[in-house]
Amino acid sequence: MPGWDVHTHLIPPTVLTAAHRGEFGLSVDSGSLVIDGHRLPLKRLADPAALLQWIAGQGLDGAVVSVPPALFRYDAGLEWAELVNQGLRELATPQLRVLGQLPLHDPAAPEVAAALAREGVFSGFALGTTDYSGLDPVWQVLHELAAFTLIHPGHSDDKRLGSFYLSNLLGNPYETGLAAAALVFADVPGRFPGIRFCLCHGGGVTAAVAGRWQRGVDTSRPGVAPLSQSVPAALRSFYVDDLVHDDGVRELLDKTFGAEHVLAGSDWPFPMGSDAVAAERALAAGELTVPLAKEVTAG
């Protein structure tokens, strides 16, 4: 049965316009978007038609679109989030469902989440791997929305990863595992069970260290507080994509998160993505709405 690729990227057109104008510290140089020292080759990242071709070639219903991680920019505040979200609105079609940008460290973040959900345009939210402390007001809103919430790794600050492309090959899986750990040990899945977190790249290192995390709880390691549920139970509340490039690791994902929570994700159009998605893993369309059974406001 066809479904949705949960992990694809496009640069919103409003960001491209701002870059051509030299706004928000952006520029375009030799076919790349230059942002905070990073260069993103435009090409397919700026071509929704190319993503639609991918969808058709894979026999999918559509794709879930989030911005490339360099565009999260949580230090850029509310105005940046508004620019990105306007561009995401322009990208949204029946085959391209977009995940909203939150100014995660701004006090307005809970209100922004509730307002975006009320629009009926966004199919959830995408978050970078950043400091998640003090975000209970945001988690409360996402819980009430039962929001699909993609967690995507950003750049690691570890200077040792500068060689051999390790910033991606090792840094990305580590960053995702760090984000998962921050959520699990703060008991976010237990306290806000409505949130449908989805970890990119198979959850990074999470499945490999899940037993170690539980051992830390069992032996009351310093700083580890009792949780409302075990680590394995918490991890089974997460979704992950299946982008691990290894059949043995996919089997581990099934055991750790539950086979029904392992979803097709390609990371299109990046080179570290997949050349094809497993149709049987594709997310059903009904899982991509942000249900609003009641009015949700930030309080």
pLDDT at 297: 42
Query: Which of 39, 82, 37, 85 minimizes the C-alpha distance to 65?
Result: 85
Mean pLDDT computed over 256-269: 95
Contact 200, 175 (CB under 8 A): no
Longest pairwise C-alpha distance within the chain: 56
Query: What residue spans of 157-228 are helical by DSSP H?
Result: 166-169, 171-185, 188-191, 206-218
The answer, yes or no, to whether residue 299 has pLDDT greater than 50, is: no
For residue 133, count other CB atoms closer than 10 A to its CB: 9
Which domains, ranges and CATH numbers included, belong to the chain?
A: 4-289 (3.20.20.140)
Mean pLDDT computed over 28-53: 93
The answer, yes or no, to whether residue 157 has pLDDT greater than 70, is: yes
Percent of the chain residues past pLDDT 70, beyond the cut:
94
Tally of residues, the chain: 299
pLDDT at 284: 64
Query: Which of 273, 190, 203 minimizes the C-alpha distance to 229?
Result: 190
pLDDT at 267: 96
pTM: 0.93
Cis peptide upstream of residue 269 (ω within 30 degrees of 0): yes
Q: What is the 3-state secondary structure (H, E, C) of 90-106?
A: HHCECCEEEEEECCCCC
Mean pLDDT computed over 180-188: 98
Indicate the pLDDT class of residue 293, thresholds 50, 70 and 90: very low
Report the relative pairing of strands 38-41 and 32-35 from DSSP bridges.
antiparallel
